[in-house]
Amino acid sequence: MKVSYNTSGSCASRIEIEIEDGVIVATKFVDGCAGNTQAVAALVRGMEVGEAIRRLKGIACQGDTSCPDQLARALEQSQCTTRPS
């Protein structure tokens, strides 16, 4: 599954995520601090979605969110869209 998430309140403007069987395969941040966003993307590669959410949710940078927090929110949203109604 591929997810495209428009961020709010962080330097990155969008996050592109690829998830297979509940595991993050790839993550790409559009805009933002290249070094930090590349590091976050590398660290979550191969991680289960729930674990990434647990680790990243609530991390603040400028205000009450950050690129890692926005990634957690995107992952949460992806879980909502894949659950049966």
- What pLDDT is stored for residue 54 in this prediction? 98
Going across the sheet that includes 2-6, the strands are: 2-6, 12-20, 23-31
Q: pTM for this one?
A: 0.91
CB 22 within 8 A of CB 15: no
- What pLDDT is stored for residue 85 in this prediction? 43
- What pLDDT is stored for residue 82 in this prediction? 59
Domains of the chain and CATH, by start? 2-80 (3.30.390)
Backbone angles phi, psi at 3, to 5 degrees: -125, 135
Q: Where are the beta strands (DSSP E) in the chain?
A: 2-6, 12-20, 23-31
**Tens of pLDDT along the chain (85 residues)?**
999 999 999 999 999 999 999 999 999 999 999 999 999 999 999 999 999 999 999 999 989 999 999 999 999 999 886 555 4
Backbone angles phi, psi at 45, to 5 degrees: -60, 125
CB 28 within 8 A of CB 42: no
